[in-house]
Amino acid sequence: MSGAVGVKICGLTEEVGVAACIDCRADWIGFNFFSRSPRYVTPERARELAAIVKAAAFQPVIVGLFVEPSEQEIERALAHAPVVVMQLYASPERALVLRERFGLPTWLSCPVSDAADLPAEGRFERLVVESRPPKDATRPGGNGVAFPWAITADWAAPSPWMLAGGLRPDTVAQAIAESGAVAVDVASGVERSPGVKDPHAIRRFIAAARDKNATESAFPLESRGDAAI
Ligand X SMILES: O=C(O)c1ccccc1N[C@@H]1O[C@H](COP(=O)(O)O)[C@@H](O)[C@H]1O
**Interacting residues with ligand X (CB under 6 A):** 10-11, 30, 32, 34, 37, 39, 65, 67, 89, 130, 139-144, 164-167, 185-189
Least Cβ distance, residue 168 to ligand X (angstroms): 8
β-strands 196-197, 191-193 pairing? antiparallel
Beta bridge partners of 62: 29
Complex with ligand X: residue 22 or 65, whichever CB lies closer: 65
Per DSSP (E only), the strands in 21-148 are 28-32, 61-67, 85-89, 106-112, 126-131
Closer CB to ligand X, residue 59 or residue 143? 143
Environment class of residue 114 by beta-carbon count within 10 Å: exposed (0-12), middle (13-18) or buried (19+)? exposed
Give min distance, CB of 2 to ligand X, in A: 21
**Residue number with CB closer to ligand X (53 or 190):** 190
Q: Taking the complex as a whole, how short is the minimal distance between the CB of residue 201 and ligand X, in angstroms?
A: 11
Could you tell me if 86 and 99 are in contact, meaning their C-beta atoms sit under 8 angstroms apart?
A: yes
Question: Residue with CB nearest ligand X?
Answer: 142
Q: How far is the CB of 185 from ligand X (least distance, A)?
A: 4
Distance (Å, whole) CA 103 – CA 105: 7
